[in-house]
């Protein structure tokens, strides 16, 4: 297998070696945390240790952590449980939000990708009906960090009975995530976005908030989510969170390397755009357009050079589609279809960033310049 320069951490991170070792060891044992025998008690201990670690990391109570199989399940859990409410979601939400409630009202964003809080407040005031507002903490495509505490404040000030949910799957392990401090009612987090495995995520749920379970059956997770817990993956989730909390310096390094990359590519191509530049963004995320060159062409070219990046969200069954996030920011389809996302994390090196910078310039010289000349002919 060739050496791949992996820069698609927002799709999924490489599993940390310590996590892989723990998950493999636990998979070799028959843990069911609901059983009363030795293996059941051991499974319960691993489960509760992870719950405590994660609760501490996000400043929540231990009993506010409800384990799920994925961030998508957690998002569906919230939206389907509160379906009787008026639902408002930002125009840049993940597909697990927008496709679950396709007729939800869309909260607009500005050209930088920031939710317009005043517009949300006006939308709430127009209809005095119990509402659910869902705005992600950090966008998966642009990395733009949203003013969630300000959004919560606006919702409370509206006088409308409003629950607030934030999808923080991309944020945990990269920036501080404070469930209590943000003031939200519900929050989604996920293991595989920070070095854990697939199969483990959580809905952080205010402990005085009743919610109708999405899955019913055995009464696990204090009756809020039925189904035998994935002890191995959940334990790995806890360990991944613990390791990520110790890795702040690496996040700062990656941001520095990406800042240099952005400056270099913007200087190299007059028409390139870095989406969300100038507002707070995740340390490991850059979303940039290559003028005149489609996202599909870029992805194929980088793939041939053994570089893995993506065009926006990875949740489109392998299809490359025009980004609804970039279009929501006011850019036309011609620009949206030239954007790629470069995302790094715990195992990214400066050489990885230098490598994609060099390949980006080669592709622009080969295709982009010709396209620019043709458009001016």
One domain, residues 9 and 23: no
Residues 368 and 309 in one domain: yes
Instruction: Judge whether residue 319 has pLDDT over 60.
Output: no
We report the CATH number of the domain holding residue 94 as 3.40.640.10
Residues 48-77: tens digit of each pLDDT: 999 999 999 999 999 999 999 999 999 999
- Shared domain for 232 and 306, answered yes or no, is no
Tokens standing for residue 147: 């003013």
- Residue 56 belongs to what domain range? 17-245
In 10 A of CB 128, how many CB atoms?
Answer: 12
Among 212, 230, 245, identify where a domain stops: 245
- For residues 238 and 260, membership in a common domain is answered with no
Question: What is the pLDDT confidence band of residue 374, given thresholds at 50, 70 and 90?
Answer: low
The pLDDT confidence band at residue 349, using thresholds 50, 70 and 90, is very high
Whether the Cβ atoms of residue 186 and residue 154 lie closer than 8 Å to each other: no
Q: State yes or no: pLDDT of 370 exceeds 90.
A: no
pLDDT in tens, 163-177: 999 999 999 999 999
Mean pLDDT of all residues in 350-367: 97
Q: Quick one: average pLDDT of 148-162?
A: 97
Do residues 239 and 319 both lie within one domain?
no
Pair (223, 79) in one structural domain: yes
Distant-in-sequence, close-in-space partners of 269: CB < 8 Å, separation ≥ 6: 290, 291, 364, 368
Q: Which of 245, 271, 292 finishes a domain?
A: 245
More confident residue, 275 or 270: 275
pLDDT for the residue 317: 44
Residue 145, strand partner residues? 138
pLDDT digits (tens, 9 = 90+) for 28-39: 999 999 999 999
Q: How confident is the model at residue 375 (pLDDT cuts 50, 70, 90)?
A: low
Closest CA to 191 of 223, 229, 217, 157: 229
Domain boundary among 200, 229, 245: 245
Residues 55, 179, single domain; the answer is yes
Same domain, 211 and 257: no
Query: What CATH number has the domain bearing residue 337?
Result: 3.90.1150.10
For the chain, what is the largest distance between any 2 Cα atoms, rounded to a whole number of angstroms?
77
Q: Given a cut of 70, is residue 372 above it in pLDDT?
A: no
The DSSP code for 291 is T
Half-sphere exposure of 368 (CA within 13 A, CB side): 23
Are 261 and 325 within one domain? yes
The tokens describing 337, both together, are 């279809």
**217-262 pLDDT per residue, tens:** 988 998 999 999 999 999 999 999 999 999 999 999 999 999 999 9
Mean pLDDT of 294-313: 93
pLDDT, residue 2, reads: 84
Res. 315: pLDDT tops 80: no
Q: Considering the entire predicted model, what is its pTM?
A: 0.94
Is the pLDDT reported for residue 8 higher than 60? yes
Q: Which SS3 state, helix, strand or coil, does residue 360 take? A: helix
- Distance of alpha carbon 84 from alpha carbon 71, whole angstroms: 22
Would you say 134 and 89 are in contact if contact means Cβ atoms under 8 Å apart? yes
Query: Do both 47 and 142 map to the same domain?
Result: yes
Rounded CA-CA distance 285/312 in Å is 11
Chain length of the chain: 377
Question: Per mean pLDDT, which range of 35-44, 167-176, 307-316 is the poorest?
Answer: 307-316
Q: How many domains does the chain have?
A: 2
Q: Which residues are catalytic?
A: 315
Phi first, then psi: give them for residue 90, nearest 5 degrees: -70, 155
Are residues 224 and 335 located together in one domain of the fold? no
- How far apart are the C-alpha atoms of 191 and 69, rounded to whole Å? 10
195 and 262 assigned to the same domain: no
In this predicted structure, what is the pLDDT of residue 335?
A: 94
């Amino acid at each position: 297998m060739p050496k791949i320069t992996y820069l698609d951490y927002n799709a999924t991170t490489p599993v940390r070696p310590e996590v892989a070792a723990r998950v493999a060891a636990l998979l070799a044992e028959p843990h069911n945390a609901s059983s009363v025998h030795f293996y059941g008690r051991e499974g319960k201990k691993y489960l509760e240790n992870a719950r405590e670690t994660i609760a501490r990391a996000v400043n929540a109570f231990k009993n506010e952590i409800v384990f799920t199989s994925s961030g998508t399940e957690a998002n569906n859990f919230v939206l389907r449980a509160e379906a009787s409410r008026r639902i408002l979601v930002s125009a840049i939400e993940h597909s697990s939000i927008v496709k679950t409630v396709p007729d939800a009202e869309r909260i607009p964003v500005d050209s930088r990708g920031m939710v317009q809080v005043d517009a949300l407040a006006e939308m709430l005031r127009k209809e005095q009906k119990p509402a659910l507002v869902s705005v992600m903490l950090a966008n998966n495509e642009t990395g733009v960090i949203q003013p969630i505490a300000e959004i919560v404040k606006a919702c409370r000030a509206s006088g409308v009975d409003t629950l607030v949910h934030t999808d923080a799957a991309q944020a945990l392990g990269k920036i501080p995530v404070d469930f209590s401090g943000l003031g939200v009612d519900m929050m989604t987090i996920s293991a595989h976005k920070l070095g854990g495995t697939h199969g483990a995520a959580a809905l952080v749920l205010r402990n005085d908030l009743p919610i109708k379970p999405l899955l019913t059956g055995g009464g696990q997770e204090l009756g809020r989510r039925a189904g035998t817990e994935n002890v191995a993956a959940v334990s790995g989730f806890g360990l991944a969170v613990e390791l990520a909390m110790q890795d702040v310096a690496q996040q700062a390094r990656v941001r520095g390397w990406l800042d240099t990359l952005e400056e270099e590519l913007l200087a190299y191509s007059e028409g390139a755009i870095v989406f969300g530049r100038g507002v707070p963004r995740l340390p490991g995320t850059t979303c940039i357009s290559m003028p005149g060159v489609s996202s599909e062409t870029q992805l194929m070219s980088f793939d041939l050079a053994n570089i893995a990046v993506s065009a926006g969200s990875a949740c489109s069954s392998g299809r490359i589609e025009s980004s609804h996030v970039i279009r929501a920011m006011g850019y036309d389809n011609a620009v949206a279809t030239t954007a790629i996302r470069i995302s790094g994390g715990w195992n990214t090196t400066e050489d990885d960033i230098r490598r994609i910078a060099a390949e980006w310039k080669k592709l622009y010289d080969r295709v982009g310049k010709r396209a620019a000349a043709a458009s001016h002919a």
